[in-house]
Amino acid sequence: MSNVAAPHEKITLALVTACIFGTVTSITMIGPLLVDLAGEFDVSVASAGLLAAATAVPQALASPFAGLVSDRLGRRPMIVLAFASVGVIALAAAGAKTFVMLVVLRFLTGVFGSCGPTSLLAAIGDLFPASRRASAMGWFNMGFSLAAIAGVPAVGAVGGWLGWRWAFAVNGAGMLVLALAVQLWFPAAPAVSVKTGVVATYRAVWGVPRLVNVLGANFVERSLFGMLTLYLPSFLMLRHGMNAVEVAPLLSLVAIGTIVGNVFGGWLGDRLPRPVTFVAAQLTAGALGLVLFAGALPLVAAVAIAASVGLANATSRPGFLALSSELAPGHRGALFGLLALSNQSGLVLGSALGALIIPIGGYGGLAVVAAAQGCVASALATPLALRRRLPL
């Protein structure tokens, strides 16, 4: 596989971050619009929240297929297809007349949107050498944090000023601009010669040593991340008597911790054994999660610990994704499709665990679950660190 030409590497990395920023924003933009959508279509806020599931579920289920196709058609065409389709669908959603129509359009957003992140991950594996791949994966992950800090709040601001329809329209226009930018400036990865059928492809992928450990560790890590992200705002608000407006800037500070973790994790992943970094980072994240939710910390200390949890968890990601890119180079898209499925499944598990544990054991119970998930993710990844022949 040839690498990105040095003068264009920064442009490629900027596009990777921008694409994930756009993808995550388009998926999570429903949050700040729920009240307006509920009022527009005369449904409950809880029912309006189904729009998030209508996007996330098909995206998770379609990701393995999208990765398989990207191995055959190429990375850039799939990325352009994803962003152009999501952009057009968002523009259509801006004119939705009924709630059912909006649900259908969000479902299509998930189906077509699944082509983007999987193909981007595979493209990083194709374009960047192993010695710099973890750093490149750090830029991929940074898009998630930037979406939380700027993307979703910006959508909420547009919705507040101009109405929810304009929020969808602006998002759609932005996705179309990204599709054009990818077509013009994203390097075409070398073609992957795939001569096997679907069954043979997945037989080869599932034959990768310790693949179950990789998917399992990723699944549990994403569950921990999803649980902390979803329930941290309510924890701060209830524990410290804050409202949504007051807690918003504190969440931005926490997100900055994840940005630092992505940069640091990329640096570590290109210098130290990647499974070892993952194990240490997950043990640290779990322990800090225990301290955060179990202790009666002052507000400043709680925010600092929360930012540290985000930093530790994010540190584990770039190297782990770089490691995954080496497992099946000839079927990289198919493998990342399975990884994307475990990503979404883990996020669903994290939200479900919090909903189950908090009514029973409060946030103290959540603390125990956070520590347990850090330990389980580390335990699943430990065999990867012990297996010398596994690419690092």
Predicted confidence band of residue 204 (pLDDT cuts 50, 70, 90): confident
Angle at 21 between CA 49 and CA 176, to 5 degrees: 90
* Beta carbons of 324 and 342 less than 8 angstroms apart: no
Average pLDDT, the chain: 88
Report pLDDT for 7.
57
Residue 239 has pLDDT above 60, yes or no: yes
Q: Which two tokens stand for residue 351?
A: 């939200």
Note the pLDDT tens digit of each residue in 255-264.
Answer: 889 999 999 9
Per residue in 326-351, pLDDT tens? 888 888 888 888 998 898 888 888 88
Q: Which of the given ranges, 35-39, 262-266, 273-277, 373-377, has the highest pLDDT on average?
A: 373-377
CB 76 within 8 A of CB 24: no
Task: Please report how many Cα atoms fall inside a 13 Å half-sphere around the Cα of residue 165, on the Cβ side.
Answer: 10
Burial 41-79 (b: 16+ CB within 10 A, else e): bebeeeebbebbebbbebbbebbbbbbbbbbebbbbbbb
Which residues, including other chains, have CB under 8 Å from residue 92's CB and lie 6 or more apart?
Answer: 105
In this predicted structure, what is the pLDDT of residue 296? 83
> Which one, of 136, 140, 139, 278, lies nearest residue 220 by Cα?
278
Question: Angle at CA 126, nearest 5°, toward 208 and 261?
Answer: 85
Is pLDDT above 60 for 389? no
Angle, in degrees to the nearest 10, between helices 50-73 and 99-113:
30
pLDDT in tens, 98-151: 999 999 999 999 999 999 999 999 899 889 988 889 999 999 988 888 887 888
Q: Domain 202-386, CATH 1.20.1250.20 — does that match?
A: yes
CB 136 within 8 A of CB 340: no
- 6-192 is a CATH 3.40.50.300 domain: no
Please name the residues in contact with 182: beta carbons below 8 A apart, sequence gap of 6 or more. 15, 19, 76, 79, 80, 83
- Percent of the chain exceeding pLDDT 90 equals 47
pLDDT, tens digit, for every residue of 158-196?
888 899 999 999 999 999 999 999 999 999 866 555 566
Q: How confident is the model at residue 365 (pLDDT cuts 50, 70, 90)?
A: very high
Question: What are the DSSP calls for 294-342, one per residue?
Answer: HS---HHHHHHHHHHHHHHHHHTHHHHHHHHHTT-GGGHHHHHHHHHHH
Which residues contact residue 181 at a Cβ distance below 8 angstroms, ignoring those fewer than 6 apart?
Answer: 15, 18
Least trusted range by pLDDT, from 64-73, 126-135, 293-302, 382-391: 382-391
pLDDT for res 283: 97
Residue whose pair of structure tokens reads 């994704």 in the numeric block: 321
pLDDT surpasses 80 at 8:
no
**Higher confidence at residue 230 or residue 336?**
336
Average pLDDT score over residue span 2-21:
80
Numbered ranges of CATH 1.20.1250.20 in the chain: 6-192, 202-386
Query: What's the Cα-to-Cα distance from 54 to each of 61, 100, 354, rounded to whole Å?
Result: 12, 11, 21
Look at the pTM and tell me if it is higher than 0.85: no
More confident residue, 229 or 108: 108
